[in-house]
Structure 1
Amino acid sequence: MTIIFYVYAILGTSFFGEISPPEYFGDIFLSFVTLFQIFTLESWASGIFRPIFIEEPLSWIYFITFIVIATFIMINLIVGEIVNNAQKISDDIEEETKEIKEDTSEISELRKEIREIKEMLQKQS
């Protein structure tokens, strides 16, 4: 994610650093702050995009690609974390139920042995 922000910050500074208002892409630090604002989708269209779009009509490519790529990466991170936690829970449940399965099979074997003992006792009487 940091690499994506860094690459887009450099591109934003290069492409839009001279375009007014310079407080968005005037230097690399301002570009990082602006990209974070765009990433959170907080007033990016009216506050950042439109003034730049007026002076540079193809700027929409930069903004849309950044939003799509950053959102895709963030969704993958979130989904990956959910899957990881689900797998961990599944492993924990499997480990807990393993003991229960062993106990159940042992109980089943004990019942079988008791049945056999009962049958032997009935044959002897």
Structure 2
Amino acid sequence: MTSNQPTVVDELDPPSLQARFHRLRSNKAFELFVIGIIVFSALVIGAKTYDIPPLISKIIVFADWFITLFFLVEITIRFIGEPRKRDFFRSAWNIFDTLIVVVSLVPIEDSEMALVGRLIRVFRVLRMVSIIPELRVLISSLIKAMPQLGYVALLMFIIFYIYGAIGSFFFASVNEVLWGDIAISMLTLFRVMTFEDWTDVMYETMEHYPLSWLFYVSFIFLTAFAFLNMIIGIVVNVIESENRARQIEEQGEQPARSDLEAQLKQLQESVNQLLERQR
């Protein structure tokens, strides 16, 4: 006795286009290929800065358009592969990538905005940050550290301003080029902070003011040693916090995945039991 009702599911429904693109954009090989195209794009941009033969120049133009079209296809795959399309544009990196790709499509090579077109293509190299998660962590950490860095930068500006005014009052007669006004004095102090031939500046003023070395040594201790190390410490602290939060998030996802696997296993057992009863 036969039954018209199927007892065994012969094949599963084919995955949707969204599911296929979601798997494709999450594929490591695809990500590495995209990174390779970004590196190739950077090389093409660098090649344009040299004097090259006309034939090579035409090849570079075609390569540039290929890269642009590839990025358009890649951003389309990522958009279609997004389970919820509204969430795609909630990511600042996705908005940045989309703007770069869309603006790159404008044919402005032979127009007055050719320079703008080249600049936009230079920014395509930044897409490396949106592709590699570790780089995204560094950039997000730097952005989150900006409020604290702003206070340190404000304090550094105050120190620069005070020392610049003192340097302009005392050393303008020694060297008008380096200490003529407070703006030039602050620029000279930046040179001192970065240790760019700062001893030449110091020895020049010491010929007229023997104790002026105290001015430079105290400034270097405050800026190069104290404030710059403070900036590094703030950035490192934020990066550690971001990495710790990322680890906690990944550890929190593991129990959820295990629960889902257990539910799927239980569902499979229930289906098997139903099939055995029908037999």
One fold, TM greater than 0.5? yes
* 1:4 match: 159
For 2:205 and 2:239, the matched residues in 1 are separated by: 42
Give 3-state SS (helix, strand or coil) of 2:216's partner.
helix
Moved over 3 A (4+): 101-104
- Within 5 Å, give how 1:33-72 maps onto structure 2: 33-46=187-200, 48-71=201-224, 72=226
- Within 5 Å, give how 1:1-125 maps onto structure 2: 1-18=156-173, 20-46=174-200, 48-71=201-224, 72-101=226-255
Cα deviation code 1:91-119 (max 9, x no counterpart): 11111111224556x59xx9xxxxxxxxx
Q: Which runs of 5+ in 1 are unaligned?
A: 111-125
**What letter is aligned with 1:45?**
T
The Cα shift of 1:14 comes to 1.6
**What letter is aligned with 2:216?**
F
For 2:163 and 2:254, the matched residues in 1 are separated by: 54
Cα deviation code 1:63-104 (max 9, x no counterpart): 001001001101111111011111111111111111224556
Q: Alpha carbon RMSD of aligned pairs, Å? A: 1.9
* 2:138 match: none
Cα deviation code 1:23-63 (max 9, x no counterpart): 111211210110111011000102x1111011101101110
Query: Size of the alignment, in residue pairs?
Result: 106
Q: Which has the higher helix share?
A: 1
For 1:50 and 1:22, the matched residues in 2 are separated by: 16
Structure showing greater Rg? 1
**What letter is aligned with 2:186?**
F
**What letter is aligned with 1:73?**
F
- TM norm structure 2: 0.36
- TM norm structure 1: 0.76
**What letter is aligned with 2:208?**
E
Percent identity between the two aligned chains: 28
For 2:230 and 2:255, the matched residues in 1 are separated by: 36
Give 3-state SS (helix, strand or coil) of 2:210's partner.
coil
For 2:255 and 2:198, the matched residues in 1 are separated by: 56
For 1:97 and 1:15, the matched residues in 2 are separated by: 61
